[in-house]
Structure 1
Amino acid sequence: MQVIQWIVNLGASVFLPILLFIFGLILGIRPGKAFKAGLTVGIGFIGLNLVITLLTTSLGPATKLMIKNYGLHLASIDIGWPAASAIAYGTTLGAMAIPIGVIVNVVLLLLGLTKTLDVDIWNYWHVAFAGSVLYMLTGNMWLGAALMIVVTMFNYFLADLSAPTVEKYYGLEGISFPHGLSAPGYIFALPFNWLFDRIPGLNKVHLDAETIQKKLGVFGDTTVIGAIIGLVIGLLAKLDVAKTLNLAVSMGAVMMLMPRMVSLLMEGLTPISEGANAMIKKRFPGKKLYIGMDSALAIGQESVLSSALLLVPITLLLAVILPGNKVLPFGDLATIPYFIALFAAVFKGDILRTVIAGEVDISISLYAATWLAPVITKLAKAASFNMGNNSSISALSDGGLWTNWVYLMMGEKFQWVGVVILFVIALGLLI
């Protein structure tokens, strides 16, 4: 367990390049090329994290002031995914998520039940979170471990299912997203797309980033849109002129830099993906293999970022007006691009559809996060997490994830019967 914890502590930007280098050698890629590919991916992740940090540090003070200005007083603070992942891996059960995820992936690949070879090992924290919460709800560690297996199976199914759409829209050939937060968005968006196609008027509108830019000229450019949204948020936060302008430029910078960091990730992944598919074609003709990656590869897309920035003030408004909600969105406001990464792919980049479906998804997330707040608070104390001055915490991301709500409700209410039913469903879907 100490070795696993050490691996977790390395973070994706260090561990993933090492893993990809080893994987590249196994695929027969030249050592120098494999090393460069892995290193490029690591650099891309560092760059991406820097841009996300810019987004977080810029939005953070503005969000606090918006909360203060409009008198938002809600019982539980949203701590965000970095804290949620630390809590998930910090529990007794959490460290088991990585070996469970790897073993399940290998078994499913050998049985031909998945096409996804998951190298995004760090993001097994999503699996750790679900298992740890069920353990806290029931006091049954083995039940929590069993749920981890089930969640992993569902993630691979969703990754395989959404991979053709991901490949077509994002141009990510041979890549899938077994990402615990983003993958469920694919299923969530499908019925909305069917509904939108049948609403008169709305079915004739298509507002993607390219269309907006053509109609609005320079004001339709995504970098300019980012700056305008930053300006509006600054005004709502009642920042002074200098800080408002700084926020506007920072949001514009996020819109410009995020796609460039993602392109670095893709530059590093391309040789690995090509090598994997070449090996599969040679040894298993007619088979296709996807490399399972972090959905960070998608969040730099213009429609995703534009929709996410529009959803920031909308999320705060929803938190205030939804009756029964007790969670104050904060830490995960910068995580909204991950929520909607596959929405945009299903809606073919339509920003209007993405924002509308995003509002519904976030509304559900607020209620689910409210339900789980007492459990997450208890879990944080068990993991010796420093909650500061907060007496109650939650997480809008995994704490509010609709699939986690289903998994945990089944596990809590029906115990082993519920988890076995989920296992049978997951296995049936994979088959």
Structure 2
Amino acid sequence: MDALVAIFGGISSLGVSVVMPIVLTILGCCFGAGFGKSLKAGLTVGIGFIGLNLVINQLMGTDLAGGVEAMVNRFSLSLSVMDVGWPAASAIAMGSIVGTIIIPLALAVNLVMLLTNTTQTADVDIWNYWHFAFTGALVAIVCDSVWLGIAAAVINEVIVLVIGDLTAPQVEKSLGLPGVSIPHGFSGAYAPIAYAVNWLIDKVPGLRDVNINVRSMQKRFGVFGEPVLLGAIIGLLIGLLAGYGFLPETLEDGTTVPSFLALAVSMAAVMVLIPKMAALLMEGLLPISDAASEIIQKRFSHRGKMYIGLDSAVGTGHPVTLTLSLILVPVAVFLAFVLPGNQVIPLADLACIPYMFVLITPIVEENGFRGLLVGIVVLAVGFYIATDLSPLITSAAANVNFDMGGAAAISSICDGANPLTWVITRVGALGAGIGLVVLAVAAIVLALWNRKRIVAEAKAMHAVTDGDAASGTGVTAK
């Protein structure tokens, strides 16, 4: 076991831009796509991840977060909990005891669920298993038990895999990625909230008829409706509120303050470059996805449709997702300072808002109005969750000797504001672990319900296929 943990830990430490090309090349060969085609596809995905990380980490994580921090300092706004960002959260998670075994453990759980027909998703996105480890690390602290932490990580994975199955048809339709699901620990946690808010809106006359079609904004407003102009306007406003001048300045301590024009161009670049990097991801994934879909449908046809589980990064370039995310950046900052009881100042993880929306956008059927309402709800709830979990996250950071940069308390939007992580952590701690038993039973019931749904879907697919064959149609039908 130690050797296995060391191997997977070493692979994971290479980073997602290296891990995913390796995994996808191996998978492509296994699915019969050929080594050359698989290698090219894997490298294309790796390049897409590098480009996406450069854009998000630099333009949003540094430029945008710097503008927000300057705005906070300018107006003397003070909150006590620092948002340290997802890279810090993942480092804390993978540095925990749960994190050391999460990759082989999560792969085993996924395999068991595939064999028992309780999931349709083969989750190859092993890098993002850290989300499960993060939940497990917090539960291990609050319950003072590593074993309960491991159990919490497994419960988290089971729920997220089912969410990935349920949202896959909408993901296929919205993103145009056949045979792909997104069993992402962060993005998936907001799907139940999106379904709930969507359901409530449908019950309100008048409100249910409101539809802001983000895609039609360009036609309606001309050039000012284009994403690049919207990004520039938002960047300009934040730069002005931050007190940035027309020209860059150098302070006494040597710090360079950019101009508000620079921030405007940076945010315009975000709206252009992220979709292009996401397109690279999808370009690389399609050959693997097509080969996987073909062999899975052939070998596992009795199980209904099967999906390849991928990183939610493939959906961050969606025009609706990106537009809503950028609009909600200043909204998130506003909420942080007006919500009574919130102590978290959003900084590093403002760049994670697009990931929050990857499943929300398909669920609300790209309705911008509903997307904004869901976004405001999840952000508001998220700040309270991040505040509540801050002591545990700070303790988890101390346990792995993480450098908190002088901050007394830390949290994050990803995964510190994750509602699924919060439910598992807080409910799991009730009754000296009894709550975790209840959650485990609930996860098993959910998995069995999913199996029933999968079997029914498979029977329906076979009925259609048999009917086509009897009528002389089938593969030749258009």
Q: TM-score, normalised by structure 1?
A: 0.97
1:253 aligns with 2:286: no
The match for 2:102 among 85, 88, 97 is 97
> What is aligned with 1:34?
38
1:145 match: 150
Displacement of 1:6 in angstroms is: 1.4
Q: Deviations over 1:92-116 (max 9, x none)?
A: 2211111111000001011111110
Deviates more, 1:72-81 or 1:279-288: 279-288
Give the corresponding residue for 1:378. Answer: 395
Task: Give runs of aligned pairs for residues 27-66 of structure 1, distance below 5 A.
Answer: 27-53=31-57, 54-66=59-71
Please tell me the residue identity of whatever aligns with 1:358.
G
Larger Rg: 2
Give the match's secondary structure for 1:77: strand
Match of 2:196 in 1: 191
Could you say which residue in structure 1 is the equivalent of 2:19?
Answer: 15
Q: Does 1:369 align with 2:386?
A: yes
Letter paired with 2:72: I
2:296 is the alignment partner of 1:280: yes
Look up the match of 1:215. 220
Contact 2:190 2:419 survives alignment (8 Å): no
Report SS of the residue matched to 2:82.
strand
CA distance in 2, matches of 1:150, 1:93: 13
Aligned to 2:371: 354
1:401 pairs with 2:418: yes
For residue 117 of structure 1, give the secondary structure of its aligned residue in structure 2: strand
Q: Does 1:83 align with 2:88?
A: yes
Cα distance, 1:368 vs. partner?
A: 1.0
CA contact (8 A) 2:390 2:410 kept: yes
Corresponding residue number in structure 1 for 2:355: 338
Q: Distance in 2 between matches of 1:366 and 1:151?
A: 21
Residue of structure 2 in register with 1:162 after alignment: 167
Distance 2:242 2:326 in 1: 15
Give the Cα separation in 2 of the matches to 1:423 and 1:406. 12
Once the two structures are superposed, residues 25-50 of structure 1 have per-residue CA deviations (whole angstroms, 9 ceiling, x without a partner) of: 11112111111111111111111111
Post-superposition Cα deviations, 1:372-400, rounded to whole Å, max 9, x if no partner, equal 11111111111111111211111122111
- CA deviation map 1:154-180 (0-9, x unaligned): 010000011011111111211111100
Structure 2 counterpart of 1:32, one-letter code: G
Q: CA RMSD in A?
A: 1.3
TM-score (norm 2): 0.88
Select which of 323, 341, 344 maps to 1:324.
Answer: 341
Task: Name the aligned partner's letter for residue 241 of structure 2.
Answer: L
Aligned to 2:473: none
The answer to whether the 8 A contact 1:119-1:292 is kept is: yes
State the secondary structure of the residue aligned to 1:183: helix
- Pairwise CA distance, 1:189: 0.6
Determine helix, strand or coil for the equivalent of 1:4: helix
Read off the aligned partner of 2:348 and give its amino acid letter: G
Q: CA deviation at 1:420?
A: 2.1
What percent of counterpart residues are identical? 45
Using the TM superposition, give the Cα deviation of residue 24 of structure 1 relative to its aligned residue in structure 2, in angstroms: 1.0
Q: Counterpart amino acid of 2:240?
A: L
Unaligned runs of 5+ in 2: 248-258, 449-478
Displacement of 1:417 after TM fit? 2.3
Q: How many residues align?
A: 431
Aligned to 1:176: 181
